[in-house]
Structure 1
Amino acid sequence: MDLNTISEVVRRPSDRPGADWREGDAWLAGGTWLFSAEQPGLHRLVDLTALGWDPLVPSGAGLEIGATCTIRDLYAFTPPADWTAGPLFARSCEAFLSSFKVWNSATVGGNICMSLPAGPMITLTVALEAEYELWAPDGSVRTVDALDFVTGNNRNILAPGELLRRIRVPARALRGRTAHRLFTLTRLGRSTVFLVGTQTAGRSDLLLTVTAGTTRPLRIAFDTVPDARTLQQSINAIPADVWFADPNGTPDHRHHLTLHFAEEIRHELMAGGPA
């Protein structure tokens, strides 16, 4: 879609682009959502892709994902053999309701900052206990837990002019075991629920991440894999107003699916199933 209110596109921003931020600006990365709807309040686009941020930087500490990393690049990434959580990257990419054209442009950071319940990059990074590095216009930097970033449907903690610079996924989480369940009404539809269970290598704990069915991501943590009743009670304790409603599912439907799939995940990790 043409954005007829845009009067300028900053193609070569400074290394700290927030310093020049002004009302009516928007950060431009993939632009797959930005150009999909009218944006009457915008007057200038600042192209972050020109900054050349490294998309993926693996190290002994874990994985650093640049906010402008495309979904295509993340999907093509081959993690080290000891990162047993590695298959979750591809599965999360496959959860996108999008064509290959979108994959080639859409970015990890863009999906996170859209902060929609079904955002699969939110699911991925929350489940793997990632941290987000945020840059403010005044030059300050803050680091937040991925869990705390999204606050509701299309809402997050970003202040005006603040941007997501990178995502850091710790090696400890990447070396853990995972089990996931995803439900959609149609084969290529938007996620109704997306659950991920993780377990620290050499331990019997369980971290259950609940997304898509809720307006914001949730983590439910157990020191050891709980029994079925305890797990069910933890899910039932989720406040009623946190369950999401849209054409892909009612809150009751999503609650029911979450109970069902969480129990499958519990069994899989307790039984030592696939990582």
Structure 2
Amino acid sequence: MDLNGIEEVVERPDRGSLAGFRPGDAWLGGGTWLFSEPQPALTRLLDLRGFGWEPLRADADGLTIAATCTIAELERWSAPPDWRAAALVPLCCRALLGSFKVWNAATVGGNVCLALPAGPMTALAAALDGACTIWGPDRDRAVPALDFVRGDRLTVLRPGEILREIRLPAAALRRRSAFRQISLTPQGRSGALLIGTLDIDGGFRLTVTGSTVRPIAFRHPALPPRAALLGEMAAIPDELIFGDVHGRPAWRRAVTAHLAGEILDELRAP
């Protein structure tokens, strides 16, 4: 869609652009959402690609994902053999349903910052102890990926701030993992997306997204009894259960409990 209200595009922003952020401005990543509907309030776009960030950088301590890394670039990434939880990467990428055109334009940072409950990049980052680096006009700050999204279309970003990168620690990438996702239709938006991980020392973590307005994590020092985990699913407050045309709250709550039980069974198996 053409945005005929745009008067200027800043193709090579710099750190000073954050301080110069003004009403009518928007940061442009891949643009797959920005150009999908009218944006009458916008007059200027600042193209994040002009920063020239390296999409992916892996080292002994973990993986750094630039906000401008595309879904296609992340899906093609090859992990070290002992990073077992890296198997979640292609699964989460494929949970973002779209054509190859969307995959090659949509960015990891854009998916997280859009803050849709079904955002699979948010699920990946939250489940693997991701740390978000945020650039701001006055100072930079770090926020756990689990806390970055605060609700449906709501993040911790302040005016002028941008998500610079997400860091996934190697310790989280070495965990065993289990993934479950469900939609009302074969090509539909996620109604629930759950990720379970198991540490080397037996610590269990279940991250619930898709069915909730923000990511929720449940932690246990060992795999809990099934009844205890299902009790935690039932205790999720009603105001945190999401509902729209892609799934009513009662259905989302029910499938969340079912998928949580499946994840527990998978991780309990040798």
Aligned partner letter, 1:129: D
% identical aligned pairs: 50
Deviation digits for residues 78-131 of structure 1 (CA, Å, limit 9, x no counterpart): 011110011100000000121110000000000000000000000100010101
- Residue 222 of structure 2, aligned match among 221, 224, 238: 224
Tell me the SS of whatever aligns to 1:53: coil
Higher mean displacement: 59-68 or 20-29: 20-29
Q: AA paired with 2:239?
A: D
Map of 1:91 onto structure 2: 91
Question: Which of 217, 234, 242 lines up with 1:244 in the alignment?
Answer: 242
CA distance in 2 between counterparts of 1:72 and 1:15 reads 27
- Which whole-Å CA distance do the structure 1 matches of 2:87 and 2:45 have between them? 35
Aligned: 1:5 with 2:43: no
The aligned residue for residue 121 of structure 1 is 121
CA contact (8 A) 1:131 1:144 kept: yes
Large movers: runs of 4+ above 4 Å: none
Cα distance in structure 1, aligned partners of 2:100 and 2:194: 24
**1:146 maps to 2:145:** yes
3-state SS in 1 of match to 2:46: strand
Partner of 2:157: 158
Question: What does 1:56-135 align with in structure 2 at a 5 Å threshold?
Answer: 56-135=56-135
- Deviation string for 1:21-58 (max 9, x for gaps)? 12211101100000011111111000110111010000
Q: Which residue of 2 aligns with 1:197?
A: 196
Map of 1:6-45 to 2, 5 A cutoff? 6-45=6-45
Report the TM-score, using the length of structure 1 for normalisation: 0.96
Asked if residue 175 in structure 1 is aligned to residue 190 in structure 2, the reply is: no
8 A Cα contact 1:27 1:46, kept in partner: yes
**For 1:183-219, what per-residue CA distance to the aligned partner results, in whole angstroms no more than 9, with x for missing partners?**
0122221001000000112x22210000000111100
For residue 188 of structure 2, what is the amino acid of its counterpart? G
Aligned position for 1:265: 263
SS in 2 for 1:3: coil
Separation in 2, partners of 1:189, 1:77: 25
Matched residue type, 1:252: A
Structure 1: runs of 5 or more not aligned: none
Deviation of residue 16 (structure 1)?
4.8
Match of 2:55 in 1: 55
Helix, strand or coil at the partner of 1:254: helix
Contact 1:24 1:44 in 2 (8 A): yes
> For residues 45 and 229 of structure 2, what CA distance do their matches in structure 1 show?
46
Instruction: Report the secondary structure of 1:105's partner residue.
Output: coil
CA distance in 2, matches of 1:245, 1:271: 33
Kept in 2, the 8 Å contact 1:28–1:45? The answer is yes
Q: Distance in 2 between matches of 1:19 and 1:132?
A: 20
Cα distance in 2, alignment partners of residues 20 and 248 from structure 1: 39
Q: Give the superposition deviation at 1:15.
A: 4.5
Q: Residue 241 of structure 1 aligns to a residue in which SS? A: helix
TM-score (norm 2): 0.98
Q: Structure 1 CA distance, aligned partners of 2:14 and 2:140?
A: 16
Is contact 1:15–1:51 with CA below 8 Å preserved after alignment?
A: no
C-alpha distance in 1, partners of 2:16/2:268? Answer: 47
Tell me the matched-pair count.
270
- Offset at residue 229 of structure 1 (A): 0.9
Q: Per the alignment, in what secondary structure is the counterpart of residue 40 of structure 1?
A: coil
